[in-house]
């Protein structure tokens, strides 16, 4: 192929630098996946508004925006703006705030006084004794035994050619390199640092490191020596461990953060949507698993009907809490970031033992659900999947499926008669249910509990009227489109497709059909039920694919299998079978695509490869292996947690999640042939940058990449030929 992947455009409203006013917050003020939070010496709260690539400073009661920090400016001409700032950490004695600027591989120090904030210095560019910072994330200051304060930084995706381990780097407070470690040894298991994120410290000189890739929190004394980049621990250093490997990126109880405040260790996410509190020795003190709004908590403005429910739930539950810091001079009061809800809350957590609710005092960050019809695009919140329609695909003639019993025969006869009269009516009235969907895409805005429609042929892309008139519930995740060659019983508009949507929370699949006006309404009843093991059960279903015969394949993630179903002429969906890759219990499917030969291509996420099955679920071959993709044109066969796969004609595209790479292959008989690829990390979203891509979709040379944390859909073009209708996979 002589044409590489090229960025075309993005849709989903983004905050433009320099447009946010200071002062009292507007009712519709929003954040975008905020991560790091910390109070400064004046009690003001610094927030890493990571998805908007900026740092915001609020007053202590979160009612006013005092400063917007876009970056160092002209002091660093090569990188004047921040790009994905992740964490902030105060200097122990000076009025300085450190910020890890992941996208630029540096730590930036900002000085401040009561009125102003200005750039002081930056470091992390590397030198004769250490390699440049790759992806700085967690950061903390520790006073060691010698009485000197040092700065430690987690370099999340750092690796070398011979070692996949990440690292934790030690600096002076002025940014001079001291040392680093990549492993923690001892009498027990040697711990490799893998994607470490959170980092904290106590007054005794101990580090608390959230070793996210291995689902553990390590407690490390800074007194222990480091030999060959390995901490020499006298005993096992695991403070907490999540037993059993979480499966799929939708599994949220992975320890991404750890926070030490006084004599308490706060671990968000050890229990899903809760904060577990421990003492410094790792003994559990309490679990904070809910919120109670105080009488003076102001209500958020309501712009849509679902805002009533959303606001009520937001006041009583945590939504993926991430970082915690103490409020200045307010005992037992804390600030907590919630990236998945794009909010920061201020709460009181009493020092009690057992289960406890936090008292909600205030929050900042309105729901990202701008419904202003005058704008070309609204905001997204946790965008998970995109799908489109192909008019040619629905017109492909196929042999009708043989009826199985008299009920199926009756259903086919009934629908045949109905289709005849429907076609007469449609021709006479000139209606076309798909007219508005000709050049449109459906987009699941998961955090806003809705499906949005965009015209993807206009320039620029713009949002259309809401096409969903069916019942849409929170937790809907992935989609696929089925083009029935024979309309099932109960389909109002024969010849139109049926949309299937998986629900991660409810463990069901919902079907939608088009009505004559072109709106999506429910078709039949959802199928599947929650359960571990057994037939007809699902647990955390993710990707879904349907072939031309109406055979449905679901990535049943937490059951470690593919669940196969069949839609009948009656419209009833019947369970067929479950299958795994060579009966492997460690099979971890998260997405599925089907080629023109009805072969299944499955992302086996935690085994870092693609598995290929025939239509009946028999294992055929595998492609890919574990590894970082430093050069996509060289390391294309290396994967790290591949999250999604899609097929466009005879080309297969993979979303390689940790590598933040999009790879295009031509499908062969027993292997994949690499054609082109692109690395999409460390770019601004309006330049094609991607942070956490999910279920991708491709059609006729265009690739749609929804990003759950930048909250945009990026569109790319690659050199795929225009496929004919027979080559389009179901």
123-137, 283-297, 545-559 — which is least confidently predicted?
283-297
Q: Give the rounded distance of the alpha carbon of 18 from its chain centre.
A: 27
CA distance 186 to 547: 53
Mean pLDDT, rounded, for 274-296: 79
Half-sphere exposure of 349 (CA within 13 A, CB side): 26
Would you state the pLDDT for residue 416? 83
Dihedral of alpha carbons 399, 405, 408, 409, sign: positive
- Count other Cβ atoms within 10 Å, centred on residue 614: 12
Res. 373: pLDDT tops 80? no
The runs of H, that is alpha helices, within 273-375 are: 306-314
| Three-point CA angle 703, 706, 707, nearest 5° | 130
Would you state the pLDDT for residue 305? 52
Would you state the pLDDT for residue 298? 53
Res. 721: pLDDT tops 90? no
Would you state the pLDDT for residue 1? 43
Of residues 640, 667, 641, the one with CA closest to residue 653: 667
CA distance 300 to 311: 7
CA distance 363 to 478: 30
Res. 402: pLDDT tops 80? no
DSSP 577-588: EEE-GGG-TT--
Would you state the pLDDT for residue 511? 97
Would you state the pLDDT for residue 19? 94
DSSP 674-728: EEEEEE-SSS-GGGT--SSB-B-EEETTEEEEEETTTTEEEEEE-------GGGS
Would you state the pLDDT for residue 294? 53
The answer to whether the CB of 157 falls within 8 A of the CB of 640 is no
- Which position has the token pair 């009025």? 95
Would you state the pLDDT for residue 717? 95
Domains and CATH numbers, the chain: 41-364 (2.120.10.30), 580-724+726-730 (2.120.10.30)
Mean pLDDT of the chain: 88
Residues of the chain with pLDDT > 90: what percent?
69
pLDDT band at residue 357 under the 50/70/90 scheme: confident
CA distance 32 to 689: 15
The whole-model pTM stands at: 0.91
- Phi, psi angles (nearest 5°) of residue 381: -145, 100
The answer to whether the CB of 452 falls within 8 A of the CB of 478 is no
Residues of the chain with pLDDT > 70: what percent?
88
Would you state the pLDDT for residue 307? 56
- Edge to edge, what strands does the sheet with 206-211 contain? 199-201, 206-211, 216-221, 238-241
Would you state the pLDDT for residue 301? 55
Burial class (CB in 10 A: 0-12, 13-18, 19+), 619: middle
Mean pLDDT, rounded, for 633-647: 97
Which range is most confident: 180-189, 232-241, 297-306?
A: 180-189
The answer to whether the CB of 184 falls within 8 A of the CB of 220 is yes
CA distance 251 to 76: 39
Q: When comparing pLDDT for 448 and 68, which is higher?
A: 68
CA distance 579 to 585: 10
Which range is most confident: 19-23, 285-289, 412-416?
A: 19-23
229-233, 393-397, 453-457 — which is least confidently predicted?
393-397
Which residues fall within 8 angstroms of residue 680, CB to CB, at 6 or more apart? 660, 661, 662, 688, 689, 690, 693, 705, 714
């Amino acid at each position: 192929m002589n044409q590489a992947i090229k960025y075309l455009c993005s849709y989903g409203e983004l905050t433009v630098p320099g447009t946010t006013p200071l002062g009292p917050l507007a009712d519709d003020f929003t954040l975008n996946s905020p991560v790091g939070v910390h109070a400064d010496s004046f009690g003001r709260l610094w927030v890493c508004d990571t998805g908007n690539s900026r740092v915001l400073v609020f007053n202590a009661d979160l009612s006013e925006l005092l400063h917007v920090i876009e970056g160092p400016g002209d002091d660093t001409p090569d990188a004047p703006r921040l790009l994905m700032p992740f964490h902030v950490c105060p200097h122990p004695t000076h009025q300085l705030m450190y910020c890890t600027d992941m996208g630029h591989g540096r730590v930036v120090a900002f000085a401040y006084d009561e009125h102003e904030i200005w750039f002081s210095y930056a470091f992390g560019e590397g030198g004769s004794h250490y390699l440049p910072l790759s992806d700085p994330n967690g950061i903390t200051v520790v006073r060691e035994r010698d009485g000197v304060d040092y700065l430690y930084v987690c370099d999340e995706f750092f690796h070398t050619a011979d070692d996949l381990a990440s690292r934790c780097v030690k600096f002076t407070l002025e940014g001079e390199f001291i040392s680093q470690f990549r492993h923690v040894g001892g009498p027990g298991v040697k711990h490799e640092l893998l994607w470490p994120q959170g980092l904290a410290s106590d007054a005794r000189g101990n580090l608390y490191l959230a070793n996210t890739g291995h689902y553990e929190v390590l407690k490390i004394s800074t007194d222990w020596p480091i030999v060959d980049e390995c901490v020499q621990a006298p005993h096992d250093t695991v403070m907490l461990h999540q037993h059993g490997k979480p499966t799929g990126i939708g599994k949220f109880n992975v320890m991404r953060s750890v926070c030490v405040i006084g004599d308490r260790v706060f671990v968000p996410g050890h229990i899903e949507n809760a904060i577990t509190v421990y003492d410094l020795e790792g003994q559990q003190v309490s679990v904070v698993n809910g919120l109670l709004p105080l009488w003076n908590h102001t209500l958020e403005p309501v712009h849509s009907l679902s805002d009533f429910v959303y606001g009520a739930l937001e006041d009583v539950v945590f939504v993926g809490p991430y970082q915690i810091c103490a409020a200045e001079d307010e005992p037992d009061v804390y600030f907590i970031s919630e990236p998945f809800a794009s909010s920061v809350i201020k709460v009181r957590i009493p020092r009690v033992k057992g289960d406890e609710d936090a008292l909600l005092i205030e929050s900042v960050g309105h729901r990202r659900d701008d419904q202003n019809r005058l704008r070309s695009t609204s905001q997204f919140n946790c965008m998970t999947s995109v799908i489109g329609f192909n008019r040619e695909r629905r017109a492909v003639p196929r042999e009708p499926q043989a009826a199985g019993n008299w009920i199926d025969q009756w259903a086919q006869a009934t629908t045949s008669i109905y289709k005849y009269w429907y076609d007469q009516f449609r021709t006479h009235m000139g209606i076309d249910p798909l007219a508005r969907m000709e050049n449109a895409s459906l987009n699941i805005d998961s955090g806003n509990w809705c499906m949005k429609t965009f015209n993807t042929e206009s320039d620029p892309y713009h949002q259309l009227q809401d096409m969903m008139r069916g019942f849409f519930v929170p937790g809907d995740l992935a989609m696929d489109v089925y083009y029935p060659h024979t309309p099932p019983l109960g389909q109002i508009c024969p010849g139109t497709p049926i949309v299937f949507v998986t629900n991660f929370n409810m463990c069901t699949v919902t079907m939608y059909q088009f009505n004559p006006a072109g709106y999506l309404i429910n078709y039949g009843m959802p199928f599947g039920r929650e359960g571990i093991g057994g037939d007809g059960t699902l647990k955390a279903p993710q990707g879904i694919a349907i072939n031309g015969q109406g055979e449905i394949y679901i990535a049943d993630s937490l059951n470690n299998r593919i669940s196969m179903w069949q839609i009948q002429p009656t419209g009833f969906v019947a369970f067929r079978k479950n299958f795994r890759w060579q009966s492997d219990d460690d099979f971890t499917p998260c997405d599925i695509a089907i080629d023109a030969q009805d072969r299944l291509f499955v992302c086996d996420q935690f085994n870092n490869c693609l598995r290929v099955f025939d239509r009946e679920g028999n294992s055929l071959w595998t492609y890919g292996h574990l590894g970082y993709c430093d050069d996509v044109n060289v390391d294309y066969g290396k994967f790290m947690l591949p999250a999604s796969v899609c097929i466009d004609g005879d080309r297969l595209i993979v979303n390689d999640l940790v590598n933040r790479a999009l790879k295009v292959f031509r499908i062969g008989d027993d292997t994949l042939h690499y054609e082109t690829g692109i690395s999409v990390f460390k770019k601004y979203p309006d330049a094609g940058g991607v942070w956490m891509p999910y279920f991708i979709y491709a059609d006729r040379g265009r690739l749609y990449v929804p990003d759950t944390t930048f909250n945009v859909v990026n569109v790319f073009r690659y050199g795929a030929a225009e496929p004919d209708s027979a080559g389009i996979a179901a």
